[in-house]
Chains A and B, each alone.
Chain A
Amino acid sequence: MMNNEHDHDHDHTDPPSDLELRVKALESLLVEKGFVDRAAIDAFIDTYEHRVGPRNGAKVVAHAWSDPAFKQWLLTDATAAIASMGYTGFQGEHMVVIENTSQVHNLVVCTLCSCYPWPVLGLPPVSYQSSPYRSRAVADPRGVLKEFGTQLDDDIEVRVWDSTSEVRYLVLPEHPEGTEGWNEEELAALVTRNAMIGVETAKVPEDMGGHDERRP
């Protein structure tokens, strides 16, 4: 029905699903009743689609790798240290940063819903929201890590952090070797979203195609 109503020229072969219609109807209802302002809705979307995301967290990690005093602050008062870089707000009001070392690997999950540190990582990926991840991360973390291609030595302790409160956890990945002289922007490129959830380790310089090639 709706396909016939609009006349722009790109192809719409699929009719909108019941879900799309239900969401559209609810938005219209809330606007009509005067509960929400469409410009505010757009601003919320724009914030999380374009401004807040895992590049924020990568900058925090790169800064910690470069500055021992900042790293110490981050590990003792993560909320304040992260706020000093301008990252605050919903789902990041109470931050704790946990450090990966040669002895310990940390992994974050929320078994009860999908709590995730939005100001530094943005919205959670589908894998993090999924029942397979939420059910198994606490009971079979080594199996979960393998599914992300992360193989840990048997003597490394795995610590899983279940985000059951409003405290949000961010993993500080281990600083890879071979980055002497790199600036923070270059270091941040090694820090993936998955490394800050703890399902992977940070990239290594070899993954980036060599130091010289990274420079413009």
Chain B
Amino acid sequence: MNGVHDVGGMHGFGPINPEPEAEEPVFHAEWEKRLFGFRFAVGALGKWNIDMSRYARERQHPADYLRHTYYENWLAGLEKVLVETGLVTAEELATGKAAGLANEDIRKRVCKAEQVPVAMAKGSPATMPLDVPPRFKIDDRVRAINRHPTGHTREPRYVRSCVGVIHAHLGAHVFPDRSAEGVREGQHLYSVRFEASALWGESASAKSAVYVDLWEAYLEPA
């Protein structure tokens, strides 16, 4: 979707004002910490994947997305996937009162403290086997297809219609556009190098390039 989360190249956000590294805490408020923890724990039930979670955040009203901090967007996204996957009803969210309890199937999957280190170390790999050979090879010239899907996509707007060169083949990875719909499908993934001038024309930063990871469906020969 052409959402406001896709901010690459936008103007007007002002200076970055980074906090000094030595002084920056991991969390800036107690609620961020709790949210981080229980979002992880409920995510471990396996009711949604990372792309569904991103797509939920992206579907907020653009004004809300931009006004929110990172963790506020996490909260909004979590509330949405909880309701959409049926774990929580809109009424339960509004009242804070549980109308029903987890069924047996869910209870079996609840993450216990002793399982946390193993789960963390294992992660959730996105690579998968694929029988089809890659369409592109290193140094091929490719164009990022000018596509505007209304669903989730990881092809940023600023590369669309632009020509770059295949820098690396990164293997076959889960395709996010379908993954956000709950379908786990593998597709070749490439690192594509775009000269800054190909992306930004006359306003390009001198002597610079941008490398973007793009799936095969986002690319055509150029």
List residues of A whose CB falls within 8 A of some B CB.
19-20, 22-30, 32-37, 39-45, 47-49, 52-53, 88-94, 96, 111-114, 122-127, 129-136, 138-144, 147-148, 154-167, 192-194, 199
Contact = CB atoms under 8 A, between A and B. Distances in A.
A160 B209 contact: yes
B133 interface: no
Contact of A27 (B16, B34, B154): B34
A159 B75 contact: no
Nearest to B50: A166
Interface string B114-145: 01110011111111000000000000000000
Nearest to B14: A132
B212 A162 contact: yes
Interface residues of B, number: 95
Contacts of B17: 127, 132
Given A33-B87, A166-B173, 10 more contacts: A20-B31, A29-B96, A36-B110, A49-B27, A89-B120, A122-B26, A124-B70, A126-B24, A135-B11, A139-B200
B7 interface: yes
B19 A41 contact: no
Contacts of B75: 19, 22-23, 26
B173 A158 contact: no
A208 B34 CA distance: 36
Task: Please give me the 8 A-B residue pairs with the lowest Cβ-Cβ distance, nearest first.
Answer: A111-B8, A165-B213, A34-B102, A39-B113, A166-B126, A41-B37, A43-B116, A127-B18
Interface in B19-39: 19, 21, 24, 26-31, 33-38
A25 B125 contact: no
Nearest to B7: A135
A27 B93 CA distance: 11
A93 B30 CA distance: 28
Contact of A165 (B18, B42, B173): B173
Contacts of B122: 88-89
B112 interface: yes
B170 A130 contact: no
B219 to A, nearest CB: 13
B127 to A, nearest CB: 7
Contacts of B61: none
Given A127-B19, A138-B158, A142-B206, A88 B121 contact: yes
A198 B40 CA distance: 28
Contacts of A42: 37, 113
B45 interface: yes
Contact of B26 (A25, A48, A91): A48
Contacts of A89: 120-123
A24 B37 CA distance: 12
20 contacts: A29-B96, A40-B44, A41-B40, A45-B36, A47-B120, A48-B26, A92-B123, A93-B125, A93-B126, A93-B127, A94-B173, A112-B6, A112-B54, A122-B26, A132-B13, A135-B13, A138-B9, A157-B208, A159-B209, A167-B213
Given A45-B33, A156-B207, A139 B9 contact: yes
B93 A29 contact: yes
Contact of A33 (B36, B66, B101): B101
Interface string B74-117: 01001100000001100011001110111000110011110111
Given A35-B45, A40-B113, A162-B213, A148 B27 contact: no
A125 B57 contact: no
Given A30-B42, A139-B203, A131 B212 contact: no
